Structure 1
């Protein structure tokens, strides 16, 4: 079974994506979802355009799309609710009961969950993103002393997206370093890694999945060969155990789950929101 899912928001869409994907993940194996995000739907024209796109999808697919939305403005939301779709409204589902319990009305402020009122928190996240980008894929190890955590593992096992997620969502200064064919055999920690060993966290992955991922990037190469993937995974896991580096299997975990588990294990979760 295949279904189309839309995430619609008057801001970035991050909240609707996170919540919506958490819900749809409960149906993995039974339903194949195609995801589309429509951010910054903050005026009537954009709302009507979104509804038109949703309705066209309903006609094409032969059944209603599923729409997860976090629209605050009532006039914009009224347009979205007219779409031929199953609508899941995260805000209004919970705002009503909260208003009743608290005895006050919501301000319906757009973008409140991602407000930049706390400028220091915002600046921390932006600095963390820049740090993650500048210290991605072992580009440099000279700034590892500034890192909160350093993710290590084979190429294409999820280090970069996990680093960026921790930076963007939590302000974590995360670097990542790939172990490559040149490190084999008998992988050892290079100086920059050895000096910051207490910050290391390893990622591993099922060799077959790694083979499939790499084959899309470099088909029929030594880099993507199953034997090469098996060798690299075996070597890095041996290193983790030898050096007592905590590690996690990324095969069946989302980026969100990986990030939270890693931060909990390393006790570095910052409350910056």
Structure 2
């Protein structure tokens, strides 16, 4: 067995959005110690598009001498068969699970192009997602505190602790309306919650981060500033974590978490349910 691989070409191919292929592929490949040179090909719905993908796969194979990894989801039989003729290692991200469900339910699957991501019958879910994203963008970084009664969640934390990417991920993937508010110097000096948050305590959730990690992130943005100094980061974090504890606001440390893990842990802690799939 080959134990050391520096990098590998990876293709995500789908006749839909390729989001499922990417998600599963990233999760699987994250278990292996090599870097990934990846390309994504969504909406491969006709012969010409399949031919273009096959050419890219063959080019990769000819240049590296190694078969690239292809995570794919193809409903169109002809497109799938042509794809499988390329020199690659193929992983059908849905086939195994679909076969198991067919067997368990004794029911034949009826694949439909882009079933999982089309507006179609799920138009309400689609527009719920758009509304959640619009709401979350309008309430990003403390821009507006109006309409808090519509929020599913209010994220609190110091600047650069992961609030914005987490908020947007939860809006896009879960259909949740999320407000995020960064504590500023005035808040930290007074060490209190804004009055607007008092009646929405059940929606509050805190994010914190290791001081060293926060210093690193802020230095990439404003190197040499007081804002990015180790002393300032430590002071802010100590104050905000003290506030979380005093006000009984649940919180998590985001230092070693992906946005996906942060979001999932928030759902677990708060009992919120995703509204869309």
Tell me whether 1:37 sits opposite 2:40 in the alignment.
yes
Pairing 1:260–2:264 present: yes
Change (3 A) 1:7 1:210: farther
- The offset of 1:271, in angstroms, is 4.8
Counterparts of 2:92 and 2:201 in 1: how far apart (Å)? 45
Partner residue in 2 for 1:17: 22
* Separation of aligned partners in 1, 2:235 and 2:251: 17
Equivalent residue, structure 2, for 1:134: 138
Tell me if the contact between 1:9 and 1:16 (Cα under 8 Å) persists in the aligned partners. yes
Match of 1:217 among 214, 221, 239: 221
After the TM superposition, which residues 88-107 of structure 1 pair with which residues of structure 2 at under 5 Å, given as runs?
88-107=91-110
Aligned partners of 1:190, 1:180: CA distance in 2, in Å? 11
Is the contact between residue 176 and residue 275 of structure 2 (CA under 8 Å) also seen in structure 1?
Answer: no
Equivalences, count: 271
Structure 1, residues 47-68: CA drift from partner, whole Å, max 9, x if none? 2222333333445555333222
Scaled by the length of structure 1, the TM-score of the pair is 0.87
Aligned to 1:158: 162
Is the counterpart of residue 123 in structure 1 residue 127 in structure 2?
yes
Q: Is the partner of 2:101 in helix, strand or coil?
A: helix
Q: Is the 8 A contact 2:15 2:44 kept in 1?
A: yes
TM-score (norm 2): 0.86
- Aligned residues of 1:71 and 1:91 also touching (Cα < 8 A): no
1:243 aligned to which of 236, 241, 247: 247
Please give the secondary structure, in 2, of the residue aligned with 1:114.
coil
For the structure 1 residues 186 and 23, does the alpha-carbon distance in structure 2 shift closer, same or farther, using more than 3 Å as the test? farther
Check 1:24–1:232 CA distance in 2 against 1; reply closer, same or farther (3 A cut): farther
Q: Distance in 2 between matches of 1:181 and 1:215?
A: 18
Question: Is 1:197 the counterpart of 2:201 in the alignment?
Answer: yes
2:176 maps to which of 155, 172, 175: 172
Deviation at residue 240 of structure 1 after TM alignment: 1.0
The question of whether the paired residues in 2 share the 8 Å contact of 1:153 and 1:159 is answered with yes
Q: CA RMSD in A?
A: 2.4
Structure 2: give runs of 5+ residues left out of the alignment: 1-5
| Contact 1:129–1:173, Cα closer than 8 Å, also in 2 | yes
**Larger radius of gyration between Structure 1 and Structure 2:** 2
5+ residue gaps, structure 1, are none
CA distance in 1, matches of 2:90, 2:66: 13
C-alpha separation between the residues in 2 aligned to 1:108 and 1:171?
Answer: 25
Change (3 A) 1:177 1:54: farther
Give the aligned partner of residue 3 of structure 1: 8
2:109 equivalent to 1:114: no
Deviates more, 1:156-165 or 1:30-39: 30-39
